[in-house]
Amino acid sequence: MRKHIVAGNWKMNLLAQEAETLSNAIVAYIKQNQIEENTEVILAPPAIYLKELAEATEPFAKLNIAAQNCHQAASGAFTGELSAPMLSNIGVDYVIIGHSERRLYFQESNEVLRQKILSALSNDLQPIFCCGEDEAIRDQDQHEDFIAQQLKESLFDLEASEIAQCVIAYEPIWAIGTGKTASSEQAQKMHHFIRSLIAKQYGNDLANSMTILYGGSCKPSNAKELFSQPDVDGGLIGGASLSADQFIPIIESF
């Protein structure tokens, strides 16, 4: 059975007291409620809060911490960056790699993301690899080719044992903050396509065991429908992860 994941990407949000209040509410929920055997909750706070949250959540097997990014080098003169060994050393479990905002604002290429994935894996971090197309690519009906290229250039030189440690998050960039909405059927179609690419490269068994998350405007009102799709294994949640009142109902959608 594939692992279900609800991951909250806080992005560059929340002051220290706000972060503490939110994380305490989620920890309290995990303490008081039985999470399904194959379901996991991940919090991806700003880097300044990583160590504190990693220590606070360490007792809970169903609650883990992700960094929002890492540098591809293990160390060096890269002012302002964090390396995979640093993240692993303080108890971080996952790292988000290739988020659409990193690709857009920091011009991260598929090759740079490939290097980051290798660094993460070599330091016992599980990558959450993001892929997705913008509105122009979707309108030109080139989205499948575009996603295939992202996967090929960043993931598909990995060994089967390595890619099995990765989680994939599909981001329909064209439906985030544009007023357009990706239907559950559209999400399922793309998740199925991504899984078929993995199957072609690595075989059906590995493809059917990989977790693929939906990263597009998931909220309490649509989470259950999205997560009921056969190839949607959870969500990489943005805005709704900043409120316990919204994030916890998404967890309960499973």
Which are the catalytic amino acids? 99, 171
What distance in Å separates the CA atoms of residue 238 and residue 215, rounded to the nearest whole number?
A: 8
3-state SS, residue 179: coil
- Residue that the structure tokens 């706000």 belong to: 18
CA separation for the pair 229, 16 (Å, rounded): 36
Query: Which tokens in the block code for residue 74?
Result: 């293990």
Angstrom distance (rounded) from CA 115 to CA 83: 12
Dist. CA 193–CA 223, nearest whole Å = 20
Tell me the two tokens of residue 132.
């997705």
Selection from 65, 43, 41, 67 nearest residue 54 by Cα: 65
Q: How many angstroms separate the CA atoms of 206 and 198, rounded?
A: 8
Q: Which amino acid is at 64?
A: N
